Amino acid sequence: MLTPESIQALINLLDDPDEEIVSHVQNQIRSIGLTVIPFLESAWENQDISQIHQVRIEQITHEIQFSSIKVELENWIKSKEFDLIEAWIILSKWQYPGIDELTIRTKIDLIRQDVWMEINDKQTAFEKVKILNKIFYTRYLFKGDHKNYHSPLNSFINTVLETKHGNPLSLSILYSTIAQSLHIPIYGVNLPNHFILAYMDENRVNQLIGNNTNSGVFFYINAFSDGSILYENDIRKFLSDLKLPEEKGFFEPCSHTTIIQRILINLISSYQSLGKLEKVKELVALKEIILHA
- CB 280: neighbour CB atoms within 10 A? 18
Average pLDDT of the residues in 89-107: 96
Separation CA 266–CA 239 (nearest Å): 20
| Domain encompassing residue 9 | 4-79
Separation CA 34–CA 28 (nearest Å): 13
Last residue in a domain, options 79, 94, 117: 79
Beta strands 186-189 and 143-144, pairing class? unpaired
The CATH number covering residue 73 comes to 1.25.10
pLDDT tens digits, residue range 126-156?
Answer: 999 999 999 999 999 999 999 999 999 999 9
| 194: CB partners within 8 A, 6+ apart | 168, 224, 238
- Helix and strand element counts for the chain (H, E): 12, 6
Tell me: do 36 and 181 sit in the same domain: no
- Contact at 8 Å (CB) between 5 and 29? no
Tell me: do 58 and 140 sit in the same domain: no
The least confident of 75-84, 201-210, 225-234 is 201-210
What local confidence, expressed as pLDDT, does residue 205 receive? 39
212 pLDDT higher than 90: no
Percentage of residues in the chain having pLDDT higher than 90: 77
Separation CA 151–CA 47 (nearest Å): 33
Tell me: do 75 and 98 sit in the same domain: no
**Number of structural domains in the chain:** 2
Last residue in a domain, options 79, 110, 129: 79
Buried b (16+ CB within 10 A) or exposed e, 162-177: ebebbbbbbbbbbbbb
What local confidence, expressed as pLDDT, does residue 45 receive? 85
What local confidence, expressed as pLDDT, does residue 93 receive? 97
Tell me: do 137 and 258 sit in the same domain: yes
211 pLDDT higher than 60: no
What local confidence, expressed as pLDDT, does residue 239 receive? 96
